[in-house]
Amino acid sequence: MMEATRDYMYGKIHRCTVTDAELHYVGSITVDPVLLKAAGILPHTRVDVVNIANGARLSTYVIEGPPDSGVICLNGAAAHHFSKGDLAIIMAYEQVPVSQIPGRTSRAVHVDGQNRILSVDSHVTPRLEDLGLPENNRYAQVFI
């Protein structure tokens, strides 16, 4: 019998600024590879993208843009849900066996208004037995 798996958010780009929305492209989201590396996200892999301005959430795949460009461009049908200047969160997931989730690290890349990296946080997933410990409490943690 195979062990159950869960979707695990291993990397995200938090509060990035959408630089463009290109309706007449075949699809996907174009992202500066500097940001992809920092978050551990590979091209052609699925991500969820959330628009902080209007609450839209969609799944698409990543393509690599020019390095150090700061590009975050929603392409194809996704362009209907995002506008230049919107703030977004890009989240990448992987299927992980349940027994391998505790101790696994998730990265959050924080950027400025031009999508330059300000910081990269790493969060280690606690064991079920450790839930409720003060050091694991991230309630009301503010990201600006």
- DSSP three-state, residue 55: coil
Residue 76, annotated as binding a ligand = yes
Binned at pLDDT 50, 70 and 90, residue 26 comes out as confident
Binned at pLDDT 50, 70 and 90, residue 142 comes out as low
- Residue 97, pLDDT score: 98
pLDDT digits (tens, 9 = 90+) for 108-130: 999 999 999 999 999 999 999 99
- Residue 13, pLDDT score: 98
| Residue 112 region by backbone torsions, left for phi larger than 0, else alpha for psi between -120 and 50, else beta | beta
Residue 11, annotated as binding a ligand = no
Binned at pLDDT 50, 70 and 90, residue 3 comes out as very high
Average pLDDT over residues 95-115: 97
Contact status, residue 29 vs residue 125, Cβ threshold 8 Å: no
pLDDT digits (tens, 9 = 90+) for 43-95: 999 999 999 999 999 999 999 999 999 999 999 999 999 999 999 999 999 99
- Residue 137, pLDDT score: 82
Residue 78, annotated as binding a ligand = yes
Q: Please indicate whether residue 122 is annotated as part of the active site.
A: no
CATH code of the domain made up of 6-136: 2.40.40.20
Going by C-alpha positions, the residue among 130, 115, 132 that lies closest to residue 35 is 115
- Residue 55, pLDDT score: 96
Sequence ranges of the domains in the chain: 6-136
- Residue 27, pLDDT score: 77
Rounded distance between C-alpha atoms, residue 103 and residue 126, angstroms: 6
pTM, two decimals, is 0.93
Q: Please indicate whether residue 61 is annotated as part of the active site.
A: yes
Binned at pLDDT 50, 70 and 90, residue 144 comes out as low
Active-site choice (25, 28, 59, 69): 28
